[in-house]
Structures are given as C-alpha cells and as structure tokens.
Amino acid sequence: MVADEPHQIVVRLDVVLAERGMTLTELADRVGVTIVNLSVLKNDRAKAVRFSTLSAICRELDCQPGDLLVYDRA
C-alpha cells in the first residue's frame, strides 16, 4: 500500500524554526496544531501533510513549502 511505502521527503522544520528563533510550542499555538503532531512532522515521522497545515506553517514562519520539505535522493 502506498501509505506504508518508505519515502525520501525530509522535513526541515527544525532548521527553519531555528532560523526564525521560534520554538515548536510557539508554532503549535500559532498554527493551531497540537505539539504532538508538529513533533511528528519535525521528526520525519509524518506520512502526509494537509495543505491547510502547510499553509499555516508557511504563513507563521514566512517561508515557502520548499523551505520546509526537501527530496533526499540518497
């Protein structure tokens, strides 16, 4: 099944957060997503991201989706 297949998408949320000087808790409050879910995303354990979540994160971090998600060829 596609959902169970491994992927090569790396989430750079921790890097962007560090660049903006923002904590995960603060971002969770601003975006309205639980810190548990954001933690799942930050630690590359998410299998999918809602566009609404991605939009909210990009809005709060003032970045583009490409700043957060990178395709790892290795």
Helix axes 13-20, 51-61, angle to 10 degrees: 30
Query: Which residues fall within 8 angstroms of residue 67, CB to CB, at 6 or more apart?
Result: 12, 16, 58, 61
Selected from 20, 22, 53, 67, the binder of other proteins by CB under 8 A is 53
Q: Is 40 in the site for other proteins (CB under 8 A)?
A: yes
Selected from 6, 8, 21, 45, the binder of other proteins by CB under 8 A is 45
**Pair 8, 69: CB distance under 8 Å:** no
Residue closer to other proteins by CB (options 41, 61) is: 41
Give least dist CB 52 to other proteins, A: 10
